[in-house]
Structure 1
Amino acid sequence: MTAATFHNALILPVVGEQPWFWGWLSVDDAGRISGLGEGTPPADAPSPRHDLEGRFLAPGFVSAHSHIYTGGMRGVAPSSPLYEWVSLNGQMLLGADAEDLYWMTLAGGLDHLSNGITSVYNFTQSRVVSIFDYERSVLAPQRVHSPEFVTRQIDGLAASGIRFVTSVRLDDEQLREDDAFTGFDTAMRYLDTVPADQNLGGSVYGAVQWSSSPATAERERTLMSSYGITNQAHFVETAEQIEIQQAKFDWYDAAGVLGPGFAFGHFVHPTDEMVTRVRDTGSAVVWQPMSNGRLGSGIADVPRLLRESVTVGMGVDDQSCTDVSDPFENMRTGLFLQRGLHSDPGLLTPADVLALHTLGSAAAIGVADRVGSLEVGKFADLLIVDPYSPHTGPIWDPVATYVLGCGLRNLHEVIVGGSTVWRRGVDDPQRARADHELTERMIASAAGSGIRPVRLSAPAGTAGS
């Protein structure tokens, strides 16, 4: 990391009273923001100085809910609801081993970075590969791996250079209790091998939605207390078996896990009582509009949650159900769905969804002290977005142009901790190899379940950059 100053930029800080300003931002040798302001940089601002020529300078996006290993399953089950889709995902992974998950995760981390996501809450694929049992409304194990199946995913994300929270499922109903807790402990301790600036902490992959007993909620509470970590649980995501899902909310509440360290992922079909308890306990909600739409899960009532002062973040979810991990598209999808549903164009603004996918996401997963906005002392995780290539026309409202008129085609450069990790037009050999390994390993894994793609491998010369 090298100190530098970016100037002549249209800055979107996503914090404070000014939604945008023309100015400068400096980065110190530790990769943190050391200063920013309007106009030209002061004489003592560090060099080198980079003239952004009027481009946007904004915080990196935060995906508060991702399953980052899933890029090899894009386009699968294209017209299926959640549980059919997730079961097919499980079948396709039955042939995978720990090394396969390393490459799948590395490819996913690099893909997130190239789309402007610089921090992510990552649900690791459990060491127990399962399919959904409709009769019992639980996850039915199909293959069990050693803890290395999870720790190699940690290695993959660390190698990508992205910042990440690592979420691990206990699997207390699929494994012996001692084995489940030992495996969880192995993963949490393994996080010590991750560079400190990348490691945003560990978390519990909440699994009460698929459990058969309140004991799972109580065990998750023990983990949260023992390790001092957060918890995010998929909950009331789909209308399928909705009464069963809603009834399990009380298990979490009774176990005492609700609070500022707890988030519900999706939360599409809550009861009024559930919303009240989330508000009163200070719990958070993470919204995935693209995947909820793709899977026909429903539309979360995010405007109501915001009116209730609930902390809300956004995530791009699985690469196999978004199916492009594109935060610009995710913001617009959420914004347009809410406006259309409520017939109210003023219900959410571009500034609202930009805040949700940056600072709101960081707050929902407990890392807002380090990422999510442009503030002195935070990590210098920056996006340079060029509204002139391709040209978006005159800029009447900078935040509106950024959210509504820009996209991945305008993304010029991604910077993490002051260092460039992706730049348009620059080939990345690591990405090329990771994409190749992902493709070949995913094909081999799925073949064990008799699932084969139309094209068996990527044509030569098509590796990502």
Structure 2
Amino acid sequence: MTAGGTDATALTVVNALLLTMADGAEPFRGWLTVGDDGTITGIGPGDPPTPPSTVDPSASATSRAVLDVGGAIVAPGFISAHSHLFMSGLRGLGVGETLYGWLAENMAVLTGAGVEDLYWFTLHGSLDFARNGITSAFNFAQSRVIWNYDPQVGSASLGKVHPVDFLTRQVDAGADAGIRVMSAIRLDDEAFPEQQVLDTFAAVADHIEANVPAPLNLGAAIFGAVQWAATSRTAAVEAELMRRHGVINQAHFVETAEALEQQQAKFAWYDEAGILGPRFLFGHFVHPTDEMITRAAAAGAGMVWQPTSNGRLGSGIADIPRLRAAGIRIGVGLDDQSCTDISDPFQNMRIGIYTLRALHSDAKVLMPAEMLRMHTLGSAEVLGVADRLGSLEVGKHADFLVVDPREPDTGPIWDVYATYVFACGLRNLKQVYVGGKPVYDAAQPPSELTLAATTELHARVAHAARAAGVTPGPLTF
């Protein structure tokens, strides 16, 4: 633990039960300080070494110098290492479908959506994340092409095509919501000439750098699409962009049991392109062969697990103990809000643990502290941002949650990780901070931006559905 100076302290958090998630650190009761730049400047047990200044208790949350959490748990904000934020208005579609049937129903509505619709869809999803304690996200932006994928033939046909600002407006929405985002762009190399593909990615990356506030900007990434490609050329183009821009690539892979042999065969395309390595992540990786696991682990590739989504869509169970034993790094994501239904990281952790314990008939196969680490620091590690995020340590961004297990009461704490992961939930989430500034407070009414996003989402989803000829359309409020 390190004590920082108080000259530039913007916020002091006191009377906290701290789950820092720093490796080797046990939970403790103590304090932390946040500097003017939004990073943690000090943290330790007991009381701060220098008493914090006091202010008028009636002052607004943004001007309050001291946050006394009264013994509540303070833990890092959750990181969703695999998300599709624009899907927030599509919950309730494909309720009895597996992946591709569900996706077809979602894409049918999106066919009627335009550039500004995607801004509001993404803003709503980003604000929903913030309200639920998810402070950082790897976001797969909806492609500027609406593809129609046929799992039986293993390729996609071209649907509606949008301009580049279909992508950049999604980037803007995440920034406006105040959460940290890594924006993944699908290259759509089967729709456009290669030079146009390269230029489009560069243009979006430049837009991110120019328009997203530096502290919120986790950079650009590649939305790996070999899973749906007709030829291995897609892997080669992705490899070129990874080299040119030094970015990571996360690819949906062997997510579903549909056309499984066909999916598994495309693994070789990535391997032959030289992509596998520390900057490559497999999203889902539910149905890998032993050979795929061995090769991925040897190359240093990571994997991102979506337990709620995999269950909701009947995709299967990712055998996390098997992957961890092979040496594959694991992060965790909330996936589409339309297939997690509630973007609830607490629910996501519980579903993950319970499913694996049932699969292995072993209650020790995954413990609460391990699961929490994967959804915080582990996710930061696979995304390559663990120097900034994922744990409460001096020098990292002050992204944290205030969770009170006494309101509603969950009983005495025997094991703090068990209480936090098993017994707490969104009902116990009281405040969310990003960079030491509040982005959600359960005691405060919704912000004007949140109200606007709600109004716009309902109207725009209904309009998109009508424009696409989807009937019956959604109920609106």
Specify which of 135, 140, 147 is matched with residue 130 of structure 1.
147
Gaps of 5+ in 1: 459-465
| Amino acid in structure 1 at the alignment position of 2:265 | A
Displacement of 1:305 after TM fit? Answer: 1.3
Specify which of 15, 37, 44 is matched with residue 22 of structure 2.
15
2-side partners of 1:51 and 1:295: how far apart?
42
Identity, in percent, stands at 51
Is the 1:88–1:131 contact (alpha carbons within 8 Å) kept by the matching residues of 2? Answer: no
Specify which of 210, 214, 223 is matched with residue 241 of structure 2.
223
Residue in 2 that maps onto 1:461: none
Residue in 2 that maps onto 1:426: 444
Residue in 1 that maps onto 2:60: none
| Amino acid in structure 2 at the alignment position of 1:404 | F
- TM normalised by structure 1 equals 0.96
Specify which of 23, 30, 35 is matched with residue 37 of structure 2.
30
- TM normalised by structure 2 equals 0.94
Residue in 1 that maps onto 2:97: 80
1-side partners of 2:283 and 2:475: how far apart?
34
2-side partners of 1:60 and 1:46: how far apart?
26
Residue in 2 that maps onto 1:146: 163
Displacement of 1:429 after TM fit? Answer: 1.3
Is the 1:3–1:46 contact (alpha carbons within 8 Å) kept by the matching residues of 2? Answer: no
Displacement of 1:335 after TM fit? Answer: 0.3
Q: What is the CA deviation profile of residues 266-303 of structure 1, one whole-angstrom value per residue up to 9, with x for unaligned ones?
A: 00000001101111111100000000000000000101
- Say which SS state the counterpart of residue 384 (structure 2) adopts: coil
1-side partners of 2:338 and 2:275: how far apart?
30
Matched, 1:256 2:274: yes
Is the 1:204–1:230 contact (alpha carbons within 8 Å) kept by the matching residues of 2? Answer: yes
| Amino acid in structure 2 at the alignment position of 1:160 | A
| 2-11 or 112-121: bigger deviation | 2-11
| Amino acid in structure 1 at the alignment position of 2:50 | A
1-side partners of 2:151 and 2:391: how far apart?
42
Matched, 1:457 2:476: yes
What are the within-5 Å matches in structure 2 for residues 34-53 of structure 1?
A: 34-43=41-50, 48-53=65-70
Specify which of 334, 338, 347 is matched with residue 356 of structure 2.
338
| 80-89 or 373-382: bigger deviation | 80-89
Residue in 1 that maps onto 2:346: 328
Residue in 2 that maps onto 1:275: 293
Is the 1:59–1:372 contact (alpha carbons within 8 Å) kept by the matching residues of 2? Answer: yes
Residue in 2 that maps onto 1:115: 132
Q: What is the CA deviation profile of residues 41-81 of structure 1, one whole-angstrom value per residue up to 9, with x for unaligned ones?
A: 11166762322111000000000000001011101000101
- Say which SS state the counterpart of residue 303 (structure 2) adopts: strand
2-side partners of 1:254 and 1:45: how far apart?
58
2-side partners of 1:275 and 1:215: how far apart?
23
Is the 1:87–1:130 contact (alpha carbons within 8 Å) kept by the matching residues of 2? Answer: no
Displacement of 1:136 after TM fit? Answer: 2.4
- Say which SS state the counterpart of residue 34 (structure 1) adopts: strand
2-side partners of 1:33 and 1:297: how far apart?
40
Matched, 1:64 2:81: yes
Specify which of 312, 322, 344 is matched with residue 304 of structure 1.
322
Is the 1:26–1:46 contact (alpha carbons within 8 Å) kept by the matching residues of 2? Answer: no
Gaps of 5+ in 2: 1-7, 55-64
| Amino acid in structure 2 at the alignment position of 1:99 | E
Displacement of 1:131 after TM fit? Answer: 1.9
| Amino acid in structure 1 at the alignment position of 2:255 | E
Deviating runs (4+, > 4 A) in structure 1? 44-47
Note closer, same or farther for the CA distance 1:224–1:56 as it changes in structure 2 (3 Å cut).
same
What are the within-5 Å matches in structure 2 for residues 136-285 of structure 1?
A: 136-192=153-209, 193-285=211-303
| Amino acid in structure 2 at the alignment position of 1:96 | A
| Amino acid in structure 2 at the alignment position of 1:178 | Q
- Say which SS state the counterpart of residue 157 (structure 1) adopts: helix
- Say which SS state the counterpart of residue 285 (structure 1) adopts: strand
Is the 2:223–2:249 contact (alpha carbons within 8 Å) kept by the matching residues of 1? Answer: yes
Q: C-alpha root-mean-square deviation of aligned residues, in Å?
A: 1.3
Displacement of 1:439 after TM fit? Answer: 1.1
Query: How many equivalent residue pairs?
Result: 458
2-side partners of 1:355 and 1:293: how far apart?
21
2-side partners of 1:195 and 1:46: how far apart?
29
| Amino acid in structure 2 at the alignment position of 1:31 | G
| Amino acid in structure 2 at the alignment position of 1:383 | L
| Amino acid in structure 1 at the alignment position of 2:23 | G
Is the 1:2–1:418 contact (alpha carbons within 8 Å) kept by the matching residues of 2? Answer: no
Is the 2:462–2:473 contact (alpha carbons within 8 Å) kept by the matching residues of 1? Answer: no
Residue in 2 that maps onto 1:92: 109
2-side partners of 1:65 and 1:134: how far apart?
22
Specify which of 8, 11, 35 is matched with residue 4 of structure 1.
11
Is the 1:82–1:238 contact (alpha carbons within 8 Å) kept by the matching residues of 2? Answer: yes
Displacement of 1:455 after TM fit? Answer: 5.2
Is the 1:236–1:268 contact (alpha carbons within 8 Å) kept by the matching residues of 2? Answer: yes
2-side partners of 1:135 and 1:454: how far apart?
29
